[in-house]
Amino acid sequence: MNFKLHLILAALIISINLSAQTQIANVASMASKQLADKNYTAAKQSYDLLLKDEFFDLTKKLSGKEKKDKLKVIATFEYRRANALAFMGQYQEGLKMLEAAELKHSESQLFRFYKAMYQDNFFDNAIDIEAVKTWYKPFQGYANTANLIALAYERRGMYEDALDMYNKALKKNKSPENYYKVAQFTELMGKEKDAKKLYKKGIAAFPTAPSPDNCTFEDIQILGRYKLGENEKALAIGKRLMEENPNNFRAHRYLAELQFYTGNYTESYLAFEKIIADNPFSEQAFIYMAKSLHQSGQSDKAVETLSKLIEEFPNYFAAYAERAAIYKSQGKAEEAKADIEKAKALIPNHPMLQKDAASEK
């Protein structure tokens, strides 16, 4: 083969590979948008296509690093496909697919990591926290493992443990999200002055915002600025974020929280009701919705909301604690005592219970 012909063939092979890569990128971008737009059936079909072997038929002779990168892509696609199935109400089907992928790609721990995330994200708050920690134990070196364990604690209403893990996450990564979480849970523990300093420090550390498509800093600002007393500015930021990106879930959630903390309970209730309709796995949204209902004089409906949450997640500490507080305000001492006992059985020395006991003395 002469040198000129060799160059032509090499260029043709590169062109074919680039074309395949472009095709994968285009479908992946479409699938990601479908998932963000809550078009879960279409997203699942797109990820089915991306995970077909022929989509990677030009990458069979990969080097070690290239093969590792390919597995990262496949693991991400598998996880997102499972998420689409879960949102369609097919949680077990998604789990089976992740387990099959883990078995098929046993040389990569990433599939096991994504399975752990999936199990803790959907329906499994009833699973003992020690089991969740065991799932994540092999991945202590991963940058976001501390955040995931903290989120597992948060979902179960174990706020003191969540704060401890978010502090560890902040030491590893001084991101706006981590500053916000540490400040939020510091405040939940009754340390308002320390929390305010953290909100202020978080905002000072990130004086400029990223692009509108990645609103991490600015949606932290929504509550951050509120905590510093800049209510109108916080509301304006939240509204602008949702105009720029209607699918910015965090902006919706933080703005709903802001409505609650500024006493706009009807708006807060309606906002959290919409969040739950879009994402029925948001336990904290149920808590805020119940609190909004209670504050607006609809205590019975608030109790009903928390009872539904407890039925779905029987080991969710915060639901019992909040329902006990509402029962107490209604003069239902026996019901309140029963919920406090259930909460104590889950987390005996939680500050929320200690505070309640102190108020009774």
Residue at 70: amino acid letter? K
How does residue 58 score in pLDDT terms, banded at 50, 70 and 90?
very low
pLDDT digits (tens, 9 = 90+) for 264-323: 999 999 989 888 887 766 778 889 999 999 999 999 999 999 998 888 778 778 889 899
Which candidate, 68, 123, 160, 87, places its Cα nearest to that of 283? 123
296 in helix, strand or coil?
Answer: coil
Weakest mean pLDDT among 3-17, 78-92, 103-117, 140-154? 3-17
Instruction: Tell me which amino acid residue 193 is.
Output: K
Provide the greatest CA pair distance for the chain: 95
Stretch among 118-127, 187-196, 219-228, 320-329 having the lowest mean pLDDT:
118-127
Q: How far is CA 159 from CA 6, 153, 233, in A?
A: 64, 7, 29
The C-alpha torsion from 225 through 279 and 340 to 302, rounded to 10°, is 80
Torsion over CA: 25, 27, 31, 37 (sign): positive
**At 312, which helix (H) or strand (E)?**
helix 299-312
> 169 is written with which tokens?
């996450």
Q: How far is CA 142 from CA 111, 113, 137, 154, in A?
A: 14, 10, 10, 20
Q: Which residue has the tokens 């990458």?
A: 59
pLDDT in tens, 117-138: 787 776 555 567 787 788 787 7
Between helices 351-360 and 317-329, what is the axis angle to 10°? 20
pLDDT band at 11 (very low <50, low <70, confident <90, very high): very low
| CA pair distance 133, 145, nearest whole angstrom | 10
Distance (Å, rounded) from C-alpha 105 to C-alpha 193?
49
Residue 188 pLDDT: 78
* pLDDT at residue number 12: 39
Q: Which amino acid is at 174?
A: K
Phi, psi of 38 (to 5 degrees): 65, 25
User: Length of the chain in residues, anyone?
Assistant: 361
The torsion defined by the Cα of 122, 253, 249 and 304, in degrees rounded to 10, comes to: 40
Contacts of 252 (CB under 8 A, 6+ apart): 242, 271, 274, 275
- The whole-number pLDDT of residue 304 equals 94
Q: Any residues with CB less than 8 A from the CB of 315 and at least 6 apart, and which?
A: 125, 126, 128, 156, 346
| pLDDT score of 78 more than 80 | yes
87-116: per-residue pLDDT in tens? 787 888 888 998 898 888 887 777 888 887
183 pLDDT higher than 80: yes
- What pLDDT score does 265 carry? 92
What's the pLDDT score for residue 166?
Answer: 92
Residue 306 is predicted with a pLDDT of: 93
Residue 213 predicted with pLDDT over 50? no
What domains, with CATH codes, occur in the chain? 22-122 (1.25.40)
The model's pTM is 0.63
Rounded Cα gap, residues 249 and 238, in angstroms? 11
Write down the pLDDT at residue 238.
Answer: 81
Q: Which of 2-11, 57-66, 207-216, 276-285 shows the lowest per-residue confidence on average (mean pLDDT)?
A: 2-11
pLDDT at 200: 83
Taking only Cα atoms into account, the Rg of the chain, rounded to an integer number of angstroms, comes to 24
What pLDDT does residue 295 have?
Answer: 94
The alpha-helical segments, DSSP class H, found in 128-264 are 129-136, 145-155, 159-172, 176-188, 192-205, 216-227, 231-244, 249-261
